[in-house]
Chains A and B, each alone.
Chain A
C-alpha cells in the first residue's frame, strides 16, 4: 500500500505544481514507483511542467464519471518507466468531482504505486477538499512573504481538522541575499509562527523557470541549487536524515534551525 501526499499552500503562485513535479521526479530518480495527480480541474498545469501535455487522452473527471478505466487515463512519463501522471480536466470546474470520488481514485492508485503526490489547487474551497480527501500526509509550500505565510497558517489549521497527518513545511524561493539584509522573512520567523516540522528549503533559482518552460523538471539538472534542494526533500520523505542546505546564512542561526530539525 502506497502513501498519498498532498502538496498544498492556500495562496497561489508559491510553487505547488513545481514542488509536486520535482519531488515526484526526484522520488522516481530514487527508483520509486510514483504517480502524480493533478486536482486543479479547469486550470491544470502539472502536465505542462512535466512536458506531458500532448500525451493526455483521458483525465481525472473521465475516471470519476466512469468514461474510462483509471489505467487508461494515466500518462507515463517520457523519462522514467515508473513515473505516471493523472491529469486534471481542463474543460470542467472543481465541482465536477466530489471528495469521495477522488478518495476512491487515490485508494486505487495506492495499491499500484509507492508514492502518490497530489497537486492541490489554490484556495480553501471545493478543490482543496477534493485534493486532501485521499491524502495520508501533507506538504505545505510557502514562500518567505507575510501573505503566503498567513495563508499557509490557515491551510495548516484546516489540515489539522482533517484526517491528514501532521503537515510538513517547504519554504520555497528563498533569496539568501535578501534574507541576510533583513528584507526577506527569516526561516526561523516562519517556523515560529507556523510551528510545524520543516522538510526542506528551496532557494530561488532561475533554472526552475527555464526548466518549467521546457517541460523538464528542474531535478534533472544537477547544476541547479533548487534541484539539489528537491532531491534532499525526496530523500527526507524516504526517511534519510539529510542536513538542510547551507544557504548564505549566519552560522549561529543555521545550527539553531538544524537543531530544530532534530539533527543538531
Chain B
C-alpha cells in the first residue's frame, strides 16, 4: 500500500475530525487504506486527547456490515469517538439521460454490464455479452449478444454501426436474426420494441421513437 492513494481523506473541523471516504474505489481497498493510515502514516495526529469523528461514505451503497467494518477499524484507535457515520442515498440522483462512455473490445466469453445508458466504442464479438439497464449504443460491430433494459425497461434501444448480433434482448423480449427481421441494410441501425416485438430501423428514424430528442433541422 502506498501512501499516495487518496481514498481516505482526513479533515479537521472545529470540534473534531471528518473522515471522507472515496465512494468509487473497491471497498476492500478503502478498508486497507484506512487501516494503514490509522496504524502508520497518521499516527501522530491520532494519538492524544479524545476527538469526535464524523465518517462520510459518499454515495457508496453500503450495508450495515460495511459500516460495522469501518467502525471496527476506527475503534482500534482508542481516542476516536465516532459521532456519526453517513452515506448519501443518491441512487435517485443519477441522471437517467447520462451516457457512460467506454471503449475496448468485447471478446468471446467476456461480459460487460452497465447500470444506465452505455456508449461502447469498439466491437462486441460472437460469444461476448453486453448488458445495460438503459440504452446500448455501439460505435463498432455488434456480433455478440446485447441486452438493453435488463431491469425491464421496454423503452430501451440497442444501436450499432454494424448490427449483426447473435441475439438481441430488450427487457424480457428475445430476438434472433435474421428470420424474425425484415430486409437489412448496411447503414447504422437500432433495435427497439414496438408492442412487444423487436423492430429494426435506420438510426435517423430514432426521432419517431424518442420525441424528447433535440433534433437538428438545418440553419
Give Cα A247 to B110, complex, Å.
34
Interface residue A126 (Cβ < 8 Å from any Cβ of B) = no
Interface check B16, CB cutoff 8 A: no
- Cβ–Cβ contact B105 & A195, under 8 A: yes
* Min C-beta distance of A118 to chain B, whole Å: 22
B109 contacts across to A, CB distance below 8 A: 154, 157-158
Most B CB within 10 A of own CB, among A150, A151, A153: A153
Q: Which one of A146, A157, A192 has the highest number of Cβ atoms from chain B below 10 Å of its Cβ?
A: A157
The B108-129 residues at the A interface (CB cut-off 8 A) are 108-110, 123, 125-127
The yes or no answer to A199 lying at the interface (CB within 8 A) is no
Q: Which residues does chain B contribute within 8 Å of A156, judged by CB atoms?
A: 107
Instruction: Indicate which residue in B105, B110, B127, B141 contacts A150 across the interface (CB closer than 8 Å).
Output: B127
Q: Is the CB of A154 within 8 A of B127?
A: yes
Is B169 close to A, CB under 8 A?
no
| B147 at interface by CB-CB < 8 Å | no
For residue B173, give the distance in angstroms from its CB to the closest CB of chain A.
Answer: 26
Residue of A nearest to B109 (CB): A154
Residues of chain B within 8 A (CB-CB) of A146 are: 126
Report which B residues bind A (CB closer than 8 A).
105, 107-110, 123, 125-127, 141, 143
In the complex, which residue of chain B has the Cβ closest to the Cβ of A159?
A: B107
Which chain A positions have C-beta within 8 A of B125?
Answer: 153, 193
16 further A-B contacts with Cβ under 8 Å, apart from A150-B126, A154-B127, A193-B126, are A150-B108, A150-B127, A151-B108, A153-B107, A153-B108, A153-B126, A153-B127, A154-B107, A154-B108, A154-B109, A157-B107, A157-B109, A160-B107, A193-B143, A195-B105, A195-B123
B contact residues around A160 at 8 Å (CB)? 107
Which residues of A in the span 135-173 have a Cβ within 8 Å of any Cβ on B?
A: 146, 150-151, 153-154, 156-158, 160
**Chain A: interface residue total (CB-CB under 8 A):** 12
Interface of B is mostly: loop
Cβ contacts under 8 Å, B143 to chain A: 193
A157 near B123: Cβ-Cβ < 8 Å: no
User: Would you list which residues of chain A between 185 and 203 have a CB under 8 Å from chain B?
Assistant: 192-193, 195
Closest to B126 in A: A150
A192 to B108, CA, bound (A): 14
Q: Which of B109, B127, B143 has the most CB of A within 10 A?
A: B109
Can you offer 28 A-B residue contacts whose CB atoms are under 8 A? A146-B126, A150-B108, A150-B126, A150-B127, A151-B108, A153-B107, A153-B108, A153-B125, A153-B126, A153-B127, A154-B107, A154-B108, A154-B109, A154-B127, A156-B107, A157-B107, A157-B108, A157-B109, A157-B110, A158-B109, A160-B107, A192-B141, A193-B123, A193-B125, A193-B126, A193-B143, A195-B105, A195-B123
A133 to B70 Cα, complex, angstroms: 38
Expressed in whole angstroms, the minimum distance between the Cβ of A10 and any Cβ of chain B is: 9
Q: 1/0 per position for A82-112, CB-CB distance to B under 8 A?
A: 0000000000000000000000000000000
Q: Select the residue from B108, B123, B127 with max chain A CB neighbours within 10 A.
A: B108
Q: CA–CA, A154 to B111, complex, Å?
A: 12
Distance from A8 Cβ to chain B, minimum over Cβ atoms (Å): 14
Chain A residue nearest to B127 in the complex (CB): A150
Closest-CB distance, A141 to chain B (whole angstroms): 16
CB distance from B103 to the nearest CB of A (A): 13
State the Cβ distance, A136 to closest chain B Cβ, in Å: 21
Q: Which residues of B are found within 8 Å of A153, using beta-carbon distances? A: 107-108, 125-127
Q: Give 4 closest A-B pairs by Cβ, nearest first.
A: A157-B107, A154-B108, A153-B108, A154-B109
**Which residues of B are found within 8 Å of A158, using beta-carbon distances?**
109
- Of all chain B residues, the one with the shortest Cβ separation from A196 is B105
Closest to A151 in B: B108
Give CA–CA (A156, B125) in the complex, Å.
Answer: 12
Bound complex: CA A153 to CA B126 (Å): 9
Q: Which residue of A lies closest to B104 (CB)?
A: A160
A151 proximity list for chain B (CB < 8 A): 108
Nearest residue, chain B, Cβ from A149: B126
Return the chain A residue nearest B105 by Cβ.
A195
Which A30-46 residues have C-beta < 8 A from chain B?
Answer: none
With a CB–CB cut-off of 8 A, which chain A residues contact B105? 195
Neighbouring B residues of A195 by C-beta, 8 Å: 105, 123
State how many angstroms separate the Cβ of B121 from the closest Cβ of chain A.
13
